[in-house]
Every structure is written in C-alpha cells, then in structure tokens.
Amino acid sequence: MATNNYPTPMLDVLEEGPWPSFISGFKKLRDEHPDERIRNTINGLMGQLEHSYETKMGYWKGGTISVFGYGGGIIPRFSEVGHMFPESKEFHTLRVQPPAGNYYTTDMLRQLADSWEKWGSGLQTFHGQTGNIMFIGANSVNFQHFFDEINEYGWDLGGAGPCVRTGMSCVGAARCEMSNCNEHAIHRRLMNNFTDDVHRPALPYKFKFKVSGCPNDCQNAIERADFAVIGTWRDDMKVNQEAVKEMIMKKAKEIGKEGDRSAGRQYMFDNVISRCPTQAIKLNDDDTITVDNSNCVRCMHCLNVMPKALQVGDDKGVTVLIGGKRTLKIGDLMGIVTIPFMKLDTEEDYERIVELAASIIDFWAENGLEHERCGEMIERIGLVNFLEGIGIDPDPNMIKQPRNVSYVRTDGWDEAAEAWFNRKREEKMAAAA
C-alpha cells in the first residue's frame, strides 16, 4: 500500500457490510491498478470524497466542455478543493448512449473498459438516471481521445443540458410476455431522428423520450418523460381457461390447502376479482373467468398475477402521454394522454410517431419559456392551445373529468360539436372500409 494515500477513515466504514462496496472498488483501483495516472486520480477522488463526508459539503463545480463538433454530452466537473486534491481536480463525466433496451455482450463491455482505462479514471456506471452509460472521471484533455476512440467503434454521446436527452426503453419484446410493441425500434427511431437536438442543446430545457412496452411502465415514463410511449392493446385480452383452473388449484397448494378448491377460489376473489379497478372480471362456478373487455382499462394487474392464464390481445399499439416531469419549477407533473391509441406496425406508423414528436418539440421550442419543460408550458397555456398547436383533436380519453367551473366562453360550441360528429362519422367509415 502506498504511503502517500489520503487517509479515508469515514469511507473505510463503507467497506463493512454485505452489499457490494463502491469504496472497496475505488481502493482496488487506487492501490492495484498498473497505471499510475489512475492510481493517483482515484487517490485524489477519495481524498475529496472523504473531505465531503467530514465537512458535509460537495466540492464540484460545473463549466463548459464538449467534444469537437458537439455542444453537450459531457458533464464538466472542476474541483473547488483542487489545491488539496490536485490529482482529480478535473473529473468530467461522459454520457454515452446505451443500446436500446440496455443489452450488452460481455465483449463490448470489456472493449469499453479497455478504452476507458486508457483515457479515464476506470470508473463507470450502468446507468445514470437519464439512462446513459456514465464514464466518470476524465480530465480536460483525455475526454476527447476517449470519445474519438469509442465513437470509431459505434458509440455516441447522449444529451446533457437543454436538449433532447438519451432515451430509455424497457426489456420489452426481447424478454417479456407483456410487451405490446417493438420498444427498441420506437426508442431508436425517436432518438436517432433528433440526433442534432441531442448533441447541440438549443431547446428551452431538457426533453426526454421513454418507452415502456405495457402499462406496468417499468421505465417510469409517465412520471419522468416529456414524451412517454406506453404499449397497450385494443381488442380482448386472451384467456386460457385451463390455466385459470390450474392457477386456482396451484394457489390452494401454495397456501397450504392442497386440493381445496374453495381456498384457491378465495385467493382469486381476494387478489384478482376484487382488485380489478373497473370490476371487469367475473369468476364463474366452473372456475373459468368472464372478462368484460369493454370496461377493461388495461391496468395489467390480473395479467401480473396470472401471466400463464391471461395475455395481452392481438390488436396492439401505443398510448402517448406528453409532459411528465419532476418538481422544478412548478411541481410534479405526469404526462397527459395525447394519443390514446395508435398502431405501430408499418413504416408509415413509425413516420407518424416521429412526426408527432417533431411537431411537439417544434411547438415547444417556439412557445416554451427559457428553462420551461414541455409539461409546464402545457400547464401555462392550457391543453387545448397545445393540442391546436400540434394539430391534434380533443378526445375524452385526455381528461379524468370535464371542467367543473362555469366560467368558460362557449361561443364556438356549434362548430366544435359538428367537428366531433364529423370525426365520429369518419372513424365509422374507416372502420367499415
């Protein structure tokens, strides 16, 4: 062990206990890495982190740094205590876009580790909260070399700043029976249409795409994405009645009452029938179920409980919700249903969703205030102005309930009602065609 290491008595405590310790990993780099540059960098980093633990303050400040040709994708960090820990006084993070769905081969990750070791600190994270691979800790010279190297073999930076941010998509159709769309194709089509907006921040604020293949929303899209794409279906869910019967007996066995049909039925009542938010499932006397599909809201609960017995339908598509975000500045907002259902099968369908995203980003870039998220703009101007701005007709699926305050001007009522009836007629004709 080198004698010139900064003492880290508080960090040392985080080596105790069974969960994997990031401090043990740091120490391995600091004490055992063959490259002196990495050993010193991590020593400085640990010295500064210990200093933070002791003083309960952070000591990194931002700056402006980017690779040649881009305006974002790097999180610059300069130490405010660089005079105390000069080895890590520049410690920038490169945000790198992962493959859609976060799939990797071990070889790819080794290749990235080799490059990163050459130019950076040897620390990386899979993944940051926006969804990037984060390569944490390059100095102001080496980050460009590292980017050049990995960019040559297929990697690109993600977004940082007021730009389109790196997207996220769930495990999806690759390994999930709940999937209703090709999450990864949607993710890539959306992201790679806006590459320029990712790399050159020029929007009012950040704009995030997230794709979840079903309403379980594993990617937290509704609450955290400006543009949330959620897979869903329009026709009847599929019921395997034999598997329902099996499930009833299996549950009876699991709760220690093997062969007791009524105990299995009780489980079904308690955990499926009574939990349906719209009371759309009935358990019949012969242990089959009847589903009122016209009242099913695709909440996913019964499918989660009985993945073998129930499955999503065949007429699949997506629901698009716009404007989700966390607190800053006006408070938390969830996405609002903007497209209740659209198919995503053909090339034209994919073009349509990309066009929708482009029209939303354009309208927001034009009308959003500085540092105002898309959802905040909608809050400020009202949903109707937003819908008119992007050319989408109003739909009752966009609301929980109609307005309740009587102060509203309705002088365009007749035209609006006529437009509604015309749309309904067209929908009917299209369905009949």
Q: Is 291 in the site for other proteins (CB under 8 A)?
A: no
Q: Is 163 in the site for other proteins (CB under 8 A)?
A: no
Characterise 94 by phi-psi region: left (phi > 0), alpha (psi -120 to 50), beta (else): beta
Q: Is 123 in the site for other proteins (CB under 8 A)?
A: yes
Q: Which stretch binds other proteins (CB under 8 A): 296-304, 386-394, 402-410, 419-427?
A: 296-304
Q: Is 107 in the site for other proteins (CB under 8 A)?
A: yes
Question: Which one of 37, 245, 257, 275 is in contact with other proteins (CB under 8 A)?
Answer: 275
Question: Which one of 154, 259, 402, 412 is in contact with other proteins (CB under 8 A)?
Answer: 154
CB nearer other proteins, residue 172 or residue 389? 172
Question: Which one of 72, 167, 204, 323 is in contact with other proteins (CB under 8 A)?
Answer: 167
Q: Is 223 in the site for other proteins (CB under 8 A)?
A: yes
Q: Is 106 in the site for other proteins (CB under 8 A)?
A: yes
Q: Beta partners for 228?
A: 210, 321
* CA nearest to 103, candidates 164, 158, 173: 173
CB of 328 to other proteins, least distance (A): 5
Question: Which one of 39, 89, 127, 373 is in contact with other proteins (CB under 8 A)?
Answer: 127
Question: Which one of 37, 84, 108, 291 is in contact with other proteins (CB under 8 A)?
Answer: 108
CB-hemisphere CA count at 13 Å for 77?
Answer: 18
Q: Is 95 in the site for other proteins (CB under 8 A)?
A: no
Q: Sketch the per residue contact string, 240 through 259, with other proteins: x for CB under 8 A, - otherwise.
A: --------------------
Q: Is 386 in the site for other proteins (CB under 8 A)?
A: no
Ordered DSSP codes for 11-23:
HHGGG-SSSPPHH
User: In this structure, are residues 21 and 13 in contact, taking their beta carbons and an 8 Å threshold?
Assistant: no
User: In this structure, are residues 319 and 232 in contact, taking their beta carbons and an 8 Å threshold?
Assistant: yes
How far apart are the C-alpha atoms of 251 and 249, rounded to whole Å?
Answer: 5
Each as own residue / partner, the long-range contacts of residues 393-399 (CB below 8 Å, 24 or more positions apart, any chain) are 393/419, 393/423, 395/337, 395/340, 397/337, 397/340, 398/336, 398/337, 398/338, 398/340
CB nearer other proteins, residue 182 or residue 392? 182
| Residues of this chain, 182-201, that bind other proteins according to CB under 8 A | 182, 184, 187-188, 191-192, 195-196, 198-199
CB of 416 to other proteins, least distance (A): 27
Whole-number CA gyration radius for the chain: 27
Question: Which one of 44, 162, 204, 215 is in contact with other proteins (CB under 8 A)?
Answer: 215
Take residue 94 and report the two structure tokens written for it. 């490169």
CB of 400 to other proteins, least distance (A): 9
Question: Which one of 283, 305, 354, 365 is in contact with other proteins (CB under 8 A)?
Answer: 305
User: In this structure, are residues 374 and 359 in contact, taking their beta carbons and an 8 Å threshold?
Assistant: no
| Residues of this chain, 36-55, that bind other proteins according to CB under 8 A | 45, 49, 52-53, 55
Q: How many residues bind other proteins (CB under 8 A)?
A: 129
| Residues of this chain, 323-382, that bind other proteins according to CB under 8 A | 326-332, 334, 369-371
CB nearer other proteins, residue 198 or residue 390? 198
Residues 129-161 as b/e (b if ≥16 CB within 10 A, e otherwise) read ebbbbbbbbbbeebbbebbebbeeeebbbbbbb
Q: Is 280 in the site for other proteins (CB under 8 A)?
A: no
Ordered DSSP codes for 160-188:
-SSSBPPPEE-SGGGS-TT--S-HHHHHH
Place of tokens 């090709």: 182
Ordered DSSP codes for 370-415:
TT--HHHHHHHH-HHHHHHHHT----GGG-SS----S----TTHHH
CB nearer other proteins, residue 302 or residue 390? 302
Q: Is 416 in the site for other proteins (CB under 8 A)?
A: no
| Neighbouring C-beta atoms of residue 316, cutoff 10 Å | 21
